[in-house]
């Protein structure tokens, strides 16, 4: 894929934790949600670039939105970082 002209059409850039899940977490915690907690929810996992084939595979397994990031991205080679962000600590 590197060096190919149309590589951008064959990848998707996404948050490891789907935006709909983050929004639901905000709603679930709205009574006690703080700015720090919202920042943690957003920053706990990094955004990533995966191939459309990998995205389709996740969807076929039922992991388009459901499942933990570790379940959703099992078998997908991610290089350069771990799924968990080093800069963000759980509460």
pLDDT digits (tens, 9 = 90+) for 41-53: 998 888 888 999 9
Asked whether residue 80 is assigned to any structural domain, the reply reads no
Domain tally, the chain: 1
Assigned domain for 88 exists: no
- Compute the distance between CA of residue 22 and CA of residue 79 in angstroms, rounded to an integer: 24
Q: Establish if 23 belongs to a structural domain.
A: yes
User: Does any domain span residue 36?
Assistant: yes
Percent of the chain with pLDDT over 90: 34
pTM summary value: 0.67
Boundaries of domain holding 47:
11-72
Q: Are 15 and 47 in contact (CB under 8 A)?
A: yes
């Amino acid at each position: 894929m590197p060096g190919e002209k149309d590589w951008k059409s064959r990848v998707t850039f996404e948050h490891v934790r789907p935006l709909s899940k983050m929004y639901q977490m905000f709603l679930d915690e709205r009574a006690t949600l703080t700015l720090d907690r919202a920042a943690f929810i957003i920053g706990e996992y990094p955004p990533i670039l995966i191939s459309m084939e990998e995205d389709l595979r996740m969807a076929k397994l039922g992991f388009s939105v459901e499942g933990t990031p570790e379940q959703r991205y099992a078998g997908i080679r991610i290089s350069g970082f771990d799924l968990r962000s080093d800069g963000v600590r759980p509460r």
